[in-house]
Amino acid sequence: MEDQLRTKNSQISDQVCDQCKKRKIRCDRLLPECSNCAKSHRQCEFSSREKRPNVTKKLVEDFDGLNTRLASIESAVSQIAQHLNSTHSSIASSTPTASPYHEVIDFSIHTSISDDPFGKNRSGLQPRYGRSSHRFMDAAGDERFYGQSSAYASFDCTKVRFEKKANSKDYGNLSLIDILIASDPKVSSTLQILTDLPKTLPMPPASELESDGKPIALPSRALLEVTLEFYLKETNDPLPIFDRGTLLKAIDEQYSIGCENTDPTWTLCFNNIILLSLLAKLKTSPPGAPSKDENLMFMLLNNAKRSFSILDTLLKPRIASIQALFTLSFVTREFYDHQVAAKHIALAHQMARSIGLHQPGQFVSPERTNFFWSMYIIDKLRLFRCSQGCQSYLFECSVPLPEFDQPSPLEIAFLAKIKMACFLEEIYRELYMNYAEIQPYSSGQTTAMRLLVQLDQEWPDFHARAAILRESFPSVELELRHMFHTNRVLILLRSNLIEHKSRLLEDSRTTLEIIGELKAQQSIRGNMALSNVLHLDPLISFFELFSNIVENPQLSHSRDQELIVMTIEGITRQRHPSYISSACARVYESVAVCGEIVLAIKQAFPPSSISWEQPVDSRGSYQEFQSQSQLTWPVKHDWSVDDLLSIDTENPDLYLTIPRYHVNDEQGQF
């Protein structure tokens, strides 16, 4: 008993019990019950109330801590700025003296480009472009542009190559600039335009992308039915986005429930279908010809812009929302630029991943499979035009290839496009991603040769598939050939072998010749194929031929000059005069100035003063297949997506940690 009492007495609270505090008597603070409460049979409670915190003092302490952290951050930022300035100064000090018309341009970022692109120097054989020549591309607003194959990077590198060649004294005491200006003084203004681009590209006014605040309106059903069959036949069949049955069912449902209850997602889909169909027809009309469809097209465009403010409504995890965003990206690409379209494409791919479109499951269907591969094809084609990074990689996906019992010619073309897109991803990963920059030249050369051999081995099957389309769908066949030769150009561009220069130039000529054949076709489908090519062509072939003319102006380049002029004419046909900041309008500004320089070189070096270059035939491996009869392609394809994956399957996380290219600003981008 004494031990229990001693233990009880040893448990003393630091606080006075509530009853003793209330009665204002002395408390012995025994736990669990003090003696006063025990005698009076009251409930003894200890609320353990602490003193009220000093809020003002706590705020002062927090504010002092925040000031300390801000001071440390400002100190770190100032140190970074000093380091960048010192680095930039050291690089600029090693830059060759610029020409008078390049006073406002800093070419120090390209000092890694060899003065002898195809020669040997102390470090051995070097590639055409320095490995870091396009890692960071400066544009207006100090934004950074990544990627060695984007249209902006190609144009910027072409400017540097032209500047170095134009300032070298290769003609006695005269440079190429001196000869061009002496031949035509107006060339000075053209050179100044070249200097200022792309910072002088027109920017879309803010009001152009703003909505009028009204809800998106359901277009006329009669108008939709008039254009629906055209869209399904000319646009959806070559690149399936919608399932015909699902789309017809949605039309019946939406137009039967009343305008107040319509789904804005399907409303946007219908609006995009009509708009893209009218645009395709309008491009085939003669330039300057009045058209009622043009006024209607602008009304539909304003209706589409209303969706910009309701994207949160569209972002419901379902196929229709992805289809609406994906078709909206085609609209914004036509009327604005790739940067606006990239936002909608990114949202579409994010939503596709959220519903598992990139993975097989219990909901797999031909509609989902075809739509995924259509998104995949466009994603890979825009890689090398916009340099905005992949939205989906093959090693992240496990979607089976589309299966067709008796494939039609367009279904054969669809499978061929998938295969070419898979090659594009492998080229992108192996030769153009960031981690490829740190690889030794020998490793890059080995990779380029392996990809080139692999692509050449695919030519017989590819030629057989293209031959099936030649009579019934010639524009689709030309589009496939353009994809194939673009792949070859991208591989050859990263090769450092001298003998690959002639092959690169010949494939570049073939690519532009295909654009000329598409331009010559007087059909809606041919014009649509030309639009797809020009909106997604990285323009490397164009700039390669331009650089070849500049580097060897005394040779005969009549064929190259014709191809350059023909390409400019095709781009001119695709740009709309009312939208000066659209993707094709931006491209036109860059290629047009190159075309003017080519004409100046042609005038300064008349045919009597030039020598004739030896014809180069690097298409022998292809010409033997041209003489063969049309081949047949088996109904069941014997290749799978896994055949095109050459990554380390035991360590797939290697590619997940690679930083992807990203563009935050539209100015300077084509």
Total structural domains within the chain: 2
pTM of the model: 0.69
* Structural tokens at position 14: 């630091």
- State what percent of residues in the chain have pLDDT above 70: 71
> Three-class SS string for 472-521?
CCHHHHHHHHHHHHHHHHHHHHCCCCCCHHHHHHHHHHHHHHHHHHHHHC
- DSSP designation for 406: S
Task: Answer yes or no: is 437 within a domain.
Answer: yes
| Enclosing domain of residue 630 | 336-656
Task: Answer yes or no: is 544 within a domain.
Answer: yes
- DSSP designation for 32: S
Task: Answer yes or no: is 634 within a domain.
Answer: yes
Q: Are 217 and 638 in contact (CB under 8 A)?
A: no
pLDDT tens string 77-109: 777 766 665 544 443 443 333 333 223 323 222
pLDDT tens string 222-242: 999 999 999 999 899 999 999
Tell me: pLDDT of 561 over 50.
yes
Tell me: pLDDT of 315 over 70.
yes
Task: Answer yes or no: is 116 within a domain.
Answer: no
SS3 606: coil
Tell me: pLDDT of 43 over 70.
yes
Nearest to 226 by CA among 266, 271, 274, 268: 274
SS3 648: coil
Tell me: pLDDT of 439 over 80.
no
SS3 137: strand
Calpha distance 571→588 (Å, rounded): 6
Nearest to 190 by CA among 598, 603, 644, 657: 598
Mention every residue, 6+ apart, whose C-beta is less than 8 A from residue 273.
224, 227, 228, 231, 327
Q: Is the dihedral of CA 267, 270, 275, 278 positive or negative?
A: negative
Task: Answer yes or no: is 83 within a domain.
Answer: no
Amino acid found at 94: S
Tell me: pLDDT of 618 over 70.
no
- C-alpha distances in Å from residue 33, one per residue of 2, 25, 342: 17, 15, 72
- State what percent of residues in the chain have pLDDT above 90: 17
Tell me: pLDDT of 556 over 90.
no
Calpha distance 448→152 (Å, rounded): 23
Q: 30 has which bridge partners?
A: 12
Q: Are 374 and 441 in contact (CB under 8 A)?
A: no
Q: Does an H or E element contain 346, and which?
A: helix 338-354
With b meaning 16 or more CB within 10 Å and e meaning fewer, what string describes 85-120? eeeeeeeeeeeeebbebbeebebbbbeebbeebeee
Query: In the structure, what pLDDT confidence band is assigned to residue 607 with cuts at 50, 70 and 90?
Result: low
Calpha distance 354→311 (Å, rounded): 16
Q: Which residue has the higher pLDDT, 152 or 623?
A: 152
Please tell me the least confidently modeled range out of 277-281, 410-414, 642-646: 642-646
Q: Are 447 and 503 in contact (CB under 8 A)?
A: no
Q: Which residue has the higher pLDDT, 288 or 396?
A: 396
Task: Answer yes or no: is 567 within a domain.
Answer: yes
Tell me: pLDDT of 122 over 80.
no
Residue pointed to by tokens 């070859």:
488
Task: Answer yes or no: is 325 within a domain.
Answer: no
Q: Are 337 and 386 in contact (CB under 8 A)?
A: no
* Structural tokens at position 480: 């496939």
For position 51, what pLDDT does the model report? 55
Tell me: pLDDT of 8 over 50.
no
Tell me: pLDDT of 668 over 90.
no
Calpha distance 613→549 (Å, rounded): 12
Task: Answer yes or no: is 248 within a domain.
Answer: no
